[in-house]
């Protein structure tokens, strides 16, 4: 194992880079308060109405277009037979 890590050397290097921080008492109190309080849970249910309306409208328009095209073809084919 050539790459064995020397823990003492690593700790000494990290101690040179990392400096301990003392947070303010107000920050600690606010954090404790926020951790102790129970936050309200809000469950949002998906809105299925909009997709249903959009699909229904698309189907209705599609059927209307097909019906209109059939009427046009019938009109063209009936006038061509006379």
Average pLDDT over residues 32-54: 89
Q: Percent of the chain scored above 70 by pLDDT?
A: 90
For residue 54, is it within any domain? Answer: yes
Has residue 7 been placed in a domain? Answer: no
* Domain with 68 in it: 49-82
CA atoms within 13 A on the CB side of 76: 6
> Residue 66 domain-assigned?
yes
Q: Is residue 27 part of a domain?
A: no
75 located within any domain: yes
User: How far is 59 from 44, CA to CA, in rounded Å?
Assistant: 29
What is the Cα–Cα distance from 48 to 55, expressed in whole angstroms?
Answer: 11
Overall number of domains in the chain: 1
Task: Name the helix (H) or strand (E) containing 73.
Answer: helix 49-81
**Which pTM was predicted?**
0.42
Stronger pLDDT, 78 or 36, i.e. the higher one: 36
Residue 26 above 70 pLDDT?
Answer: yes
**Is residue 8 one of the residues assigned to a domain?**
no
Mean pLDDT of 39-61: 91
């Amino acid at each position: 194992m050539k790459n064995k890590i020397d823990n003492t050397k690593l700790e000494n290097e990290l101690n040179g880079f990392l400096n301990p921080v003392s947070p303010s008492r107000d920050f600690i109190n606010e954090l404790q308060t926020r951790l102790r309080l129970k936050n309200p849970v809000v469950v949002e249910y998906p809105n299925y109405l909009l997709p249903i309306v959009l699909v229904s409208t698309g189907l209705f328009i599609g059927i209307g277009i097909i019906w209109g095209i059939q009427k046009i073809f019938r009109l063209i084919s009936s006038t061509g037979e006379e």
